[in-house]
A and B are shown apart, each in its own frame.
Chain A
């Protein structure tokens, strides 16, 4: 993917990957940032033009110094969308990125044409609380993110005792930094009032959950649906929180069908 730096009017620099051709997709990554060799992004690029910005803080925590809350974060994304001159696009987010995507669509209902939320953070239900992924050692987080051991082995190698210390340190610091950026917006409970804003979202939405997600229960699909004007749900069997990597064909298939079949409706 092309790797470029985009400057916002505020002066902030933003790292953005892009590639492929076709209708626009703005992809907001989950807890682990953007991997340009990500096969999910590769699959999307066969049919779409994919733009994948790296969320503030993931590269440099100082980027968050001037972003105090979800509203200011969303303003930064709005600035970015303006700079990229994305006038018609489908907005897709995974996990933390899906929470941001939902809030972009709620704050700026005329921006995205369609919205896809994969295992989104952003709501809270006492009956099935979102798991506190910050209350576990870094070495154990992957245990809860993944359901499919094969997929996990491909994307997130288990840290073993004989692993190279430098590599382990690098991986751990990278993960810690990504999660630090996330904590700014979801600590201690990932609810910043999105439920009150969901009805503002004007475009059609697809909700995708892993049936075996132990971080965000698929039961949240109902809560999202209640607030959205126009939403459909797909529960992917055999997938956990990392569903786009665990079941890429099913996820890709659901996204393609949704983007092709559902007419864009912008307020």
Chain B
């Protein structure tokens, strides 16, 4: 069963991936087996994903990230939270981020 995202916890990039910006795109390169089919596929983030990813630094709780994004985009916390949790759940399920406590 997959772990659920908790807004009170801190998340950061996994050491099993390298995240690069190439020509304006965020590209997630898996280093270890089991994350993606290395021969044929790479991962990138959509626009929303990129805005959220840039704040996933492994230092502050997710709730603080939600508040910051809500302020910056002048959007209700609830809508931002839905996107943040959606992205992080996807990244956690793919082992691209880890729970840092």
A binds B: no
B contacts, CB < 8 Å to A: none
